[in-house]
Amino acid sequence: MIIDCHGHYTTAPKELQAFRDAQIAGNDNPGPLKITDDQIRESIEKGQLKMQQERGSDLTVFSPRAAGMGHHIGTATTSQIWTENCNNLIQRVVKLFPKNFIGVAQLPQTPGVPPANCIPELERCVKEMNFIGCNLNPDPSGGKWNDPPMTDKKWWYPFYEKMVELDVPAMVHVSMSCNPNFHTTGAHYINGDTTAFMQFIMSDIFKDFPTLKFIIPHGGGAVPYHWGRYRGLAQDQKRPPFSELVLKNVFFDTCVYHQPGIDLLTKVIPVDNILFASEMIGAVRGIDPETGHHFDDTKRYIDAAALSAEDKQKIFEGNVKKVFPRFAAAYAKQN
């Protein structure tokens, strides 16, 4: 089985955006969301399912559109209502296509509000809707970074306690940028990935939570390319080696859109810490004229990488099942 651990419902019917537009205009609860099963089927069959079939993957770990989370918009109530609706839609996709998708939750974060307020929605998604993880935004302000770092005990630890209790990992995933200096998917996303890793290596977060797991998407931002810099910075601060400090807890996905990037990722990062992902129909949708294939058809790069069949199997399947401990039971339950 080939599992893509990073997919968003970027092809949701337009009624979802109309709901959001009404929220942005000041109506916190413009519901109920009027989207039919046929609309969902059409959006998936012509979108992500078609891509899975064309590219040879079997299953996508699926969450609401990341740029659309927009945690900075409105109040905590706005975020709560928006998040519930987005997560419910993911559950409907999974119910219609239980072999091809499994759910991951958006969280109702809000700048200035401690993430503990997301615990009830995480519990609802995991316990009632069979989701296996969540997307956690390290910067709900959308590019201002004015809440405490992800390693702040008072701010973040109560939420991590719940993640550990439920045995779900989080993908560290920012949303849209509202700072014009940072392009959303070209700069803000990569900044978010890199920033989270640097925070992790300077803290004792994984000493405090030995089973807490994070996936850093987009190939880990700048981290693999600058692995020597990060190892050196950690060493200067008398931090333990990465094998002890982060590699039992932090994983990188393969949303890197060219062969040399994947070759570097797989050479630098231990194979046990790499999870297959494409984020298809996402930030980069075009065809690379140098290869004739879609930039985000990342399976091709893994196929072509200088790795053993056993290592490729870990990246495509084994590691995903390990990092999402609820996967096996949740997948069996929905099928």
* Residue among 49 and 66 whose Cβ is closer to Zn ion: 66
* Residue among 138 and 311 whose Cβ is closer to Zn ion: 138
Of 66, 69, 81, 102, the residue at the interface with Zn ion (CB under 5 A) is 66
Structure-token match 């298809």, residue found: 280
Hey, which residues between 276 and 315 contact Zn ion (CB under 5 A)? Answer: 279
**Residue pair 63/16 in contact by the 8 Å Cβ criterion:** no
Residue 69 near Zn ion by CB under 5 A: no
How crowded is the C-beta side of 84, counted as CA atoms within 13 Å? Answer: 16
- The CB-of-241 to Zn ion minimum distance in angstroms stands at 30
Query: How open is the CA angle 124-74-140, to the nearest 5 degrees?
Result: 70
Gap between the Cα atoms of 240 and 294, Å rounded:
40
- The CB-of-262 to Zn ion minimum distance in angstroms stands at 17
* Residue among 66 and 122 whose Cβ is closer to Zn ion: 66
Active-site entry in 54, 279, 290, 310: 279
- The CB-of-255 to Zn ion minimum distance in angstroms stands at 7
Give how many residues touch Zn ion by CB under 5 A. 2
* Residue among 44 and 66 whose Cβ is closer to Zn ion: 66
Residue 15 is a catalytic residue: no
- The CB-of-66 to Zn ion minimum distance in angstroms stands at 4
Checking DSSP bridges between strand 3-9 and strand 134-136, what pairing results, if any?
unpaired
* Residue among 4 and 279 whose Cβ is closer to Zn ion: 279
**Residue pair 259/218 in contact by the 8 Å Cβ criterion:** no
- The CB-of-276 to Zn ion minimum distance in angstroms stands at 14
Gap between the Cα atoms of 53 and 34, Å rounded:
29
- The CB-of-67 to Zn ion minimum distance in angstroms stands at 8
Contact pattern from residue 264 through residue 283 relative to Zn ion, giving x for each residue in contact according to CB under 5 A and a dash for the rest: ---------------x----
* Residue among 193 and 279 whose Cβ is closer to Zn ion: 279
Exposure string over 204-233, b if 16+ CB within 10 A, otherwise e: ebbeeeeebbbbbbbbbbbbbbbbeebeee
- The CB-of-174 to Zn ion minimum distance in angstroms stands at 9
* Residue among 163 and 176 whose Cβ is closer to Zn ion: 176
Gap between the Cα atoms of 19 and 29, Å rounded:
8
**Residue pair 216/172 in contact by the 8 Å Cβ criterion:** yes
In the sheet that 101-103 helps form, which strands lie side by side, from edge to edge?
Answer: 3-9, 59-64, 101-103
Q: What is the DSSP letter of 273?
A: G
Gap between the Cα atoms of 10 and 31, Å rounded:
20
Beta bridge partners of 274: 252
* Contact stretch for Zn ion (CB under 5 A) within 60-68, 161-169, 201-209, 260-268: 60-68
Gap between the Cα atoms of 192 and 21, Å rounded:
26
Return the axis-axis angle of helices 189-201 and 227-236, rounded to nearest 10°.
Answer: 30
**CB-closest chain residue to Zn ion:** 66
Residues in contact with Zn ion by the rule CB under 5 A: 66, 279
Catalytic residues: 279
